[in-house]
Amino acid sequence: MRAAVHEHRDRRAGTAADRRPLALALALLIAFLAAEVVAGILASSLALLADAAHLLTDAAALGVALVAARMAARPARGSWTFGFGRTEILAAQANGLTLVLFGIWIVYEAARRLVEPPEVEAGVVAVVAAGGICVNLGVLALLARAERRSLNVRGAYLHIATDLAAFAGTLAAAALILATGWHRFDPLASLFVAVLMLVAGWSLLRESGRILLEGAPSTTVPADVGEAIAGHPGVAEAHDLHVWTVTDGFPALSAHVLVQPAADCHRIRLELEGMLAERFRIEHTTLQVEHVGPARGLEIGRVQP
């Protein structure tokens, strides 16, 4: 007798298709990141260095997403019966934590520079910020070709989108400095960048934490799933219901279902699987279906914990 490990080839194909645009976007970001760090130091611009820090997290997000996509494409085998898809969630959590830490550091530096603002070479800042807008538009175009089915790729896309807004803010700050000579516009722009990083980082930490703690998908209410199972014709009771997320886009469910004595267990199981896939988008299900005892045969539609 031979046992086979269940595989999800369509999801593996999606992660493999994401790799090329991720790699091209990463190369473009790294090249511009090096130029921006040099320009930020020469121009004494915290806004540019803040953008560079954000860009570093973007590059890290893309790099880790690239590695995670490669890992997630590996087939399930041995003791790894669900495959390696959750490496993308671990990567997303690391990226979120990095965003939050860099955001806190930028807030501290901005507060210090608001008290004693250094002179900023606004012309250099404006040129680099304009280049950053062009680079980020190119990276967004590359990432738009990825399927963005994983939390990691969506997180990387979010990073670049917020970075684009950050460069726009830096460009506006440079223009205001050139027009007014007030150098505090630079740390104010960096505070804007920090807020974007903190918001993006928190969203990644919240979503990845929910998956790692095996919470139900954000679009699925377990109570609704239980009521749908218990209300199916022929079902007397449903209990031991568990709905969780193996990795982003991969919900799973297990439940013990009791059906009426005269009901067809196998037919009801197939009907429940079809209903769960169509109504709740849950295709990985483990349903233990048995006949209820005669004394409980009239208790139709009950959901037990």
DSSP 151-165: HHHHHHHHHHHHHHH
Residues with pLDDT less than 70, the chain:
1-18, 47, 51, 54, 69, 72-73, 76, 78, 81-83, 145-150, 152, 294-305
Query: What's the pLDDT at 16?
Result: 53
CA distances from 239 to 260, 286, 304 (A): 15, 13, 4
Give me the pLDDT at residue 300, please: 45
Predicted pLDDT at 166: 78
Cα–Cα distance for residue pair 235/302, rounded to 1 Å: 9
Residue carrying the six token digits 């690391």: 94
The candidate with the shortest Cα–Cα distance to 300, out of 243, 262, 255, is 262
Tokens 């970001």 sit on residue: 29
pLDDT for the residue numbered 165: 79
Alpha-carbon distance values, 246 to 93, 135, 204, 241 (Å) = 15, 35, 16, 16
Distance separating alpha carbons of residues 89 and 48, to the nearest angstrom: 30
pLDDT in the model for residue 287: 93
Cα within 13 Å of Cα(276), Cβ side: 26
Q: Which residue has the tokens 């004595």?
A: 261
CA atoms of 93 and 274, how far apart (whole Å) = 33
Q: What angle (nearest 5°) sits at the alpha carbon of residue 53, between those of residues 171 and 38?
A: 70
DSSP strand pairing (284-291 vs 250-259): parallel
Residue range 222-303 forms a domain whose CATH class is alpha beta
Q: Are 25 and 143 in contact (CB under 8 A)?
A: yes
Predicted local distance difference test score (pLDDT) of residue 64: 73
Residue with tokens 């969630």: 89
Domain 9-212: CATH class, spelled out? mainly alpha
In this prediction, residue 228 carries a pLDDT of 93
Eight-class DSSP state of 296: G
Q: What is the pLDDT of residues 49-68, one digit of tens each?
A: 776 776 777 777 777 777 77
CATH 3.30.70.1350 residue spans of the chain: 222-303
Indicate where the chain has its CATH 1.20.1510.10 domain(s).
Answer: 9-212
